[in-house]
A = this chain, B = another copy of it.
Amino acid sequence: MIRSAILGASGYVGGELLRLLSRHPGIRATRLFGDSKAGQRLGSVHPHIGGVTAALEVARFKPEALDGIDLVFAALPHGESQRWAETILASGARLVDLGADFRLHDPQVYATWYGEAHQAPQLLDQFVYGIPELHREAIRSARAVAAAGCYPTATILALKPLVDAGLVDPVSLIVDAASGVSGAGRAVKEGTAFNTVDGSFAAYGLLNHRHTAEMEQALGGTVLFTPHLAPMTRGILATCYATATRAMAADEPLQALRAAYAAEPFVRVSDDPPATKWVSGSNGAVVTARYDPRTGRVLALGAIDNLGKGAAGQMIQCANLMLGLDETAGLTAEGVFP
């Protein structure tokens, strides 16, 4: 069994990693770190975790506690990964990081979108961008992976094959996406209180959401991105608009998706527009696309669970590849429906 440590074990992604690893045949969650709830028993932090795991204690992170650890999953507040990555990699452990810290290859782009200089630019080229469907071979041989953000994963899975096939103009992209509330993390605030969100739908982060940079890097273009908060706990739907490069058959974009994902275990191409609940609680993704002859645009949609394929599921998929395990070990593509 691979021995893994989770940094950020008390957040939602940490809880999802624990749930998924509890039935993973090859990776065990051996050490749990989380500063804000250090000293608490796991059972009081994550009420869905029972059994012997519930008795484990969340500890404050110390580098020496990585002794004997083969793999680190990091789901930390922004900026923390830059602080600890060198130490983790020096320990000999592989690293799957969910932070935005090492996703952008260019530290200048990082500085532009995050408003501060990158603290560990020398490590950037050790990280592979963690969407296995795009970078499977590089991930297999990587020591460190920067797992993609939730919005970018849904968006890139829907658009990348269309860009690659030359069907859409990459400088024309508009991404309008809705997320479940767990995407905002576990910190309590009025904006994510039940009474605020229930029965309501709103946009936020207009024009400048940081995930824009990741989308532009992966798609090689310009993106106007508007995230929305939907009254649901999990799920992301990205509805993407692009100017077509030429007239084409209505289903040509769909065929491009089918060709790209024919052999993928977690990406399904659907004729119909997907609902996020189809993949809720799973590592699955569903995409579709079509050409609109009336406006000359291509419409593409991608649905995932932000905590699954958008976070913990994708981290485990990347880890499976890095460790030479079956890529699907411990994961499913079937959502908890209804």
Tell me, rounded to whole Å, the shortest Cβ–Cβ distance linking A317 to chain B: 15
Cα distance A190–B338 when bound, in Å? 12
Q: Does A239 contact B (CB under 8 A)?
A: yes
9 additional A-B pairs beyond A22-B334, A234-B338, beta carbons within 8 Å, are A188-B190, A193-B193, A194-B231, A198-B233, A200-B277, A206-B273, A206-B299, A207-B290, A226-B239
- CB nearest to A207 among chain B residues: B292
Q: A176-B239, A292-B224 are in contact. Are A336 and B201 (CB under 8 A)?
A: no
Copy count, this protein chain: 4
Least CB separation from A266: chain B residue = B50
Query: Does A228 lie at the interface of the complex (its beta carbon under 8 Å from any beta carbon of B)?
Result: yes
Q: Which residues of A come within 8 Å of B, CB atoms?
A: 12, 15, 18-19, 22-23, 46-51, 174, 176, 178, 180-182, 186, 188-190, 192-204, 206-207, 222, 224, 226, 228, 230-235, 237, 239, 241, 265, 268, 273-282, 284, 286, 290, 292, 294-295, 297, 299, 301, 303, 332-338
Whether A278 and B194, one on each chain, are in contact in the complex, defined by CB atoms closer than 8 angstroms, is no
The chain B residue with its CB closest to the CB of A212 is: B294
Measured in the bound complex, the distance between the Cα atoms of B194 and A186 in whole Å is 10
B199 contacts A335, C-beta separation under 8 Å: no
With a cutoff of 8 Å between Cβ atoms, the chain B residues found around residue A222 in the complex are: 294-295
Are the CB atoms of B301 and A196 closer together than 8 Å? no
